[in-house]
Chain A
Amino acid sequence: MKYFIFMILSFHAMSETLSQRYEKDKYYYTALNEYFLETYDKHKSKEDLERLERLLYFTGIELLEDYETKLLEQYTTSSTSFILGRRFAQSKQYKKALSYFEKVHEEHRYFPETQLSKSKIYGDQAESLKESEALERCKASSVKQENQIESVKIKRYYRMIFEICQVSIARELYKKGNFRESINAYDKITKNSYKWPYIILEKAWAYYQLGDYNRTLGLLLTYKSPLLESYFFPEAEYLAALSYFRLCLFEDSLIIAKQYDQFYRPRFTELYKVLDKNRASQNYFYGLMFNSTDESKNNDPFVKQMISRLKKQIRYSLDFNTVFKIDQEIKKILEIQDKAERYHLLKHLISVKENMINKINYNTKTDIFNFLESVPFFSSELFKVNLEIISRKRDLVYEKHDLTSNRSRGDYSNVKRSRFEQFWTFEGAFWADELGDYSLGLKSNCELKEVEGSREGQ
């Protein structure tokens, strides 16, 4: 009898594939690799596909970003369909992308993200109705997934997806010129959200389009609070200068342009130096993110602030998490007694980790570079505002006119507010609950008055 049981057990062990064994031992990344080696040229049963989904649940899909399209196309799971859909969307093959997104199951964990990606495609194709529908589905499914999950981190992920979809709705309304509705949609994002500091600028634009320049300036003032120190946007400076210009407060506009020149230019130079010196490096920016290099410790606070802002992106959390889990698996593999097996497994995992580090490095570099691109653009736009101010001032001189302002400008009567908003005067301190609700009370200076004595002089 004992012999019989032993026979059954050893038969079962023999029938177990290598990937199954690794999976059982919780070497998920190693198991995933073995899984593809075992199945790529075979018929994939339902169990095989279910097992892939299970493995991807533990590893995440970040690793598959580098896998060949032809290989992934053989595996018809929601996860692989999502990856392929994103890949085709990035190369603007929208029809193919949408067909893959359709294959993502409604209950699947990537369904909310799929809807967000679909909305982006419909937005690019100017299919407004389909875009709105996808965004609504994105929101509903995010809330559903958020409620089902126990893990705080994953809950936060779904909250972020929800907020990005909500902001997308606000942006769509802005694009259509429905600025008031757009502001209402932005207001649905709470102040403790990761997205909130970013939407201040967008809301400020919406108020600008409504002609409420005082509210625009008030919103942009929020960026001056110590809490939002790491959020600096050249566009916010430009919009403030533009709003002062629309209020014909030319001197204030010129001050902003001057400050911009003094504040951003040296920091721009500093960042450029960092980028240029390490342009070809495969891991410098990764080190910068972890503050692990000696050089990064000496960096300008501006660079540090920017890095801390980038770290708050979902992408970095997911990628760092993957690197962390790979490290854990490497530690476990180091405990394997068989030297040959240990060497074989480590070799694979180290190359996987290297790929992930390269990816983080590349994304950081790209983000910094994209930011740098916006600096010269808004510098030139500010310069145009300057020119326009000079031109207006010259016209005033020619026409023997002056602007009305006597510089005692702030007044409550100039503040536009809804019946739900309270009014408190600013006492020089930024209170957290007040952030984002500021409004200046400036009187428009655009009314003309004749220069005294101009008639007599003629």
Chain B
Amino acid sequence: MRFFLSLWLLTTSFYALSEDKNVIYQYKKYEKFDLGNLEVKGELIAPGDISVRERGRRRFELDLFSRKNFDNFQKRDVDSIR
């Protein structure tokens, strides 16, 4: 009995797997829209003034190298003696 039950389970799962692989989705190959017949409900308004609120541009300044000290020069000088 157990044997048959496991055999049944194995076959059904095999089928399930094989079905997953063979799924074919089909879309409509041709569809026609008649835009002239489409109705859009709403009001027609003429465009007025477009106003954009000005905001200050944020400036990012690069950190340009500026000498804080001459420590590496000092090391070079001491080393250059001997």
Q: Name which of A48-56, A262-270, A292-300, A310-318 contacts chain B.
A: A310-318
Structural contact, A171 and B64, CB atoms closer than 8 A: no
Structural contact, A171 and B81, CB atoms closer than 8 A: no
Among A171, A313, A318, A384, contact of B74 (Cβ-Cβ < 8 Å) = A171
Chain A residues 50-67 with CB under 8 Å of chain B are 62, 65
Structural contact, A388 and B61, CB atoms closer than 8 A: yes
Contacts of B76 in A (CB 8 A): 370
Structural contact, B74 and A395, CB atoms closer than 8 A: no
Q: Name which of A7-15, A113-121, A401-409, A425-433 contacts chain B.
A: A113-121
Structural contact, A398 and B57, CB atoms closer than 8 A: yes
Asked if A161 is an interface residue, CB under 8 A from chain B, the answer is yes
B66-82 interface mask toward A, CB cutoff 8 Å, 1 = contact, 0 = none? 11111101111111111
CB distance from B65 to the nearest CB of A (A): 5
The docked-state distance in angstroms from the alpha carbon of A318 to that of B81 is: 9
Interface of A, helix, strand, loop or mixed by DSSP: helix
Given A313-B80, A381-B65: A120 and B75 interface contact (C-beta under 8 Å): yes
CB distance from A321 to the nearest CB of B (A): 12
Contacts of A116 in B (CB 8 A): 78, 81
CB distance from A285 to the nearest CB of B (A): 16
The docked-state distance in angstroms from the alpha carbon of A65 to that of B81 is: 13
Chain A residues 123-151 with CB under 8 Å of chain B are 123
The docked-state distance in angstroms from the alpha carbon of A117 to that of B11 is: 88
How many pairs of A and B residues are in contact by the CB < 8 Å rule?
70
Asked if A86 is an interface residue, CB under 8 A from chain B, the answer is yes
Among B57, B60, B74, B82, contact of A120 (Cβ-Cβ < 8 Å) = B74
A245 and chain B: residue at smallest CB distance: B64
B78 and chain A: residue at smallest CB distance: A120
Interface of B, helix, strand, loop or mixed by DSSP: loop
The docked-state distance in angstroms from the alpha carbon of A175 to that of B57 is: 36
CB distance from B62 to the nearest CB of A (A): 5
B79 and chain A: residue at smallest CB distance: A315
Given A62-B82, A395-B59: A164 and B69 interface contact (C-beta under 8 Å): no
Contacts of B70 in A (CB 8 A): 171, 174-175, 202
The docked-state distance in angstroms from the alpha carbon of A161 to that of B65 is: 30
Chain A residues 232-266 with CB under 8 Å of chain B are 238, 242, 245
Contacts of B74 in A (CB 8 A): 120, 123, 168, 171
Among A65, A205, A314, contact of B67 (Cβ-Cβ < 8 Å) = A205
The docked-state distance in angstroms from the alpha carbon of A385 to that of B80 is: 32
Contacts of B77 in A (CB 8 A): 164, 167-168
Contacts of A168 in B (CB 8 A): 74, 77
CB distance from B75 to the nearest CB of A (A): 7
Asked if A228 is an interface residue, CB under 8 A from chain B, the answer is no
A384 and chain B: residue at smallest CB distance: B62
Among B62, B67, B80, contact of A315 (Cβ-Cβ < 8 Å) = B80
The docked-state distance in angstroms from the alpha carbon of A411 to that of B57 is: 35
Structural contact, A171 and B69, CB atoms closer than 8 A: yes
Contacts of A388 in B (CB 8 A): 61-62, 64
* 25 chain-A/chain-B pairs, Cβ below 8 angstroms: A65-B82, A113-B82, A117-B78, A120-B78, A160-B81, A171-B69, A171-B74, A175-B68, A175-B69, A175-B70, A198-B73, A208-B66, A245-B64, A314-B81, A314-B82, A318-B82, A381-B65, A384-B62, A384-B64, A387-B62, A388-B62, A391-B59, A391-B62, A395-B57, A395-B59
Question: Which residues on A are within 8 Å of B, measured CB to CB?
Answer: 62, 65, 86, 113, 116-117, 120, 123, 160-161, 164, 167-168, 171, 174-175, 198, 202, 205, 208-209, 238, 242, 245, 313-315, 318, 370, 381, 384-385, 387-388, 391, 395, 398
Question: Which residues on B are within 8 Å of A, measured CB to CB?
Answer: 57, 59-62, 64-71, 73-82
9 nearest interchain CB pairs?
A: A171-B70, A175-B69, A313-B80, A381-B65, A205-B67, A384-B62, A314-B81, A164-B77, A388-B62
Given contacts A168-B74, A395-B59, 18 further A-B contacts (CB under 8 A): A86-B82, A113-B82, A116-B78, A160-B81, A171-B73, A174-B67, A174-B70, A198-B73, A202-B73, A205-B67, A245-B64, A313-B80, A314-B80, A314-B81, A315-B80, A384-B64, A391-B59, A398-B57
